[in-house]
Amino acid sequence: MQNSFPLQKLQNIKTPFYYYDMELLERTLKQLREHSQQHGFVVHYAIKSNANLRVLEMIRSFGLGVDCVSGFEVQRALDAGFAPSGIVFAGVGKADWEIELGLDNDIACFNVESIPELEIINELAAKKGKHAHVALRINPNVNAKTHHYITTGLKENKFGINQWDLDKVVGVLKKLQHVSFEGIHFHIGSQITDLSSFKDLCVRVNEIQEWFIQQQLYPRVINVGGGLGIDYEDPDQHPIPDFENYFKVFKEGLTLRDDQEVHFELGRSITGQAGSLVTRVLYIKEGVKTKFAIVDGGMTELIRPALYQAYHKIENISSAAPEEKYDVVGPICESSDSFGKAVSLPKTSRGDLIVLRSAGAYGEVMASQYNLRSLPGSVYSDKL
């Protein structure tokens, strides 16, 4: 909504930059905490979605743990003040130094994706005289019904251990002296809006955990990952995801023992709607079928449209004139550097501020310096 952005305070700030609505982030975290704690669920924030330190500071204040997929993310979590006991470390390609960083800081758990990784963690832990807590990430072959680039739970994906390899993995695990089995881990994909995918996951989790118990391996932790989507089409209508029904799916669908914990790794659903990319119009150029609104932000600041053909709602917060259609494009020397085609905007002029909504997840954190551009700055609603 145009009036939700403080135009007068934003218009003199150097563009492009990320604008964070810290009040919305706080409301989102309050609802997340309310609905997760109602069922005794444990939530780790997926730091890969947004690693901005001010954002992390607020997330930490709500008592969340952190889900990391690199040693750099583990270090960022530690630097941001998260307790190592709340840090879990996933990822299909952990380097030795990354594993050692986790071991040295006694993080809560490594989510392990292969036998070779399991053996290396055991070897490195043995050298340090430590025990590593591990969960086995299992590929449940559940269709997340989302973009194929962000689907991770099908048998053809690189992630996780396929179910036909579990006998072999468990055989290796039982022989290792410096790893302790903590639980089982799943993650089927991202930007999932059809809750039936999570119901399907629950069915598979129940089957797999029963198999583990039959093998005399008791999964104290059932980590179901994340993936809950947000409304990119109408962020004002749905600024906060439906955490209540999301968690209800797992409460009703999982068959649990009294001492088991259910863990989640949510990212986009926490930060996605709280962030926007603000960019400025450089030129209006006449095209063959439409006009081009050429802005000073591009795929270097927000790569999702170029990488995933993702939609972000685009608004001109400087103009209230009648609408015209524009192709909103960036300055990068790539034809894919486009945010939207034939976008209806108020009549747009040089200097107008354009806002790309729902960019608080996989926006700033994926920014690059291609074309030797500077990384975007950050502006916070509570610091203006």
pLDDT of residue 287: 84
pLDDT of residue 142: 77
Q: Are 58 and 194 in the same domain?
A: yes
Q: Are 267 and 277 in the same domain?
A: no
pLDDT digit string, tens, across residues 294-324: 999 999 999 999 999 999 999 999 999 999 9
CATH code, 171: 3.20.20.10
Q: Are 359 and 243 in the same domain?
A: no
| Contact between 292 and 365 (Cβ < 8 Å) | no
Q: Are 192 and 202 in the same domain?
A: yes
Q: How far is CA 306 from CA 48, 145, 299, 303, in A?
A: 19, 21, 7, 5
Q: What is the DSSP letter of 319?
A: -
List, in sequence order, every residue forming a beta bridge with 44; answer none if it has no partner.
65, 265
Phi and psi (nearest 5°) for 308? -115, 0
Q: Shortest CA distance to 28 belongs to which of 358, 267, 269? A: 269
pLDDT digit string, tens, across residues 93-111: 999 999 999 999 999 999 9
Poorest-pLDDT segment among 3-7, 108-112, 339-343, 372-376: 3-7
pLDDT of residue 299: 98
pLDDT digit string, tens, across residues 349-364: 999 999 999 999 999 9
Q: Shortest CA distance to 244 belongs to which of 39, 49, 22? A: 39
* pTM assigned to the model: 0.94
| Contact between 206 and 250 (Cβ < 8 Å) | no
Task: Look at residue 154 and tell me whether its pLDDT is greater than 50.
Answer: no
How would residue 288 be classed by pLDDT, with cut points 50, 70 and 90?
A: confident
pLDDT of residue 149: 43
Report which of residues 146 and 94 the model is more confident about: 94
Q: What is the DSSP letter of 234?
A: -
Q: Are 130 and 27 in the same domain?
A: yes
Q: Are 100 and 11 in the same domain?
A: no
pLDDT digit string, tens, across residues 69-86: 999 999 999 999 999 999
Taking the C-alpha atoms of residue 156 and residue 158, their distance in angstroms, rounded to an integer, is 7
Q: Find the domain containing 340 and state its range.
A: 2-16+273-383
Residue after which a domain boundary falls, among 272, 295, 320:
272
pLDDT of residue 103: 98
Q: Are 173 and 29 in the same domain?
A: yes
DSSP string, 58-120: HHHHTT-EEEESSHHHHHHHHHTT--GGGEEE--S---HHHHHHHHHTT-SEEEE-SHHHHHH
pLDDT digit string, tens, across residues 46-58: 999 999 999 999 9
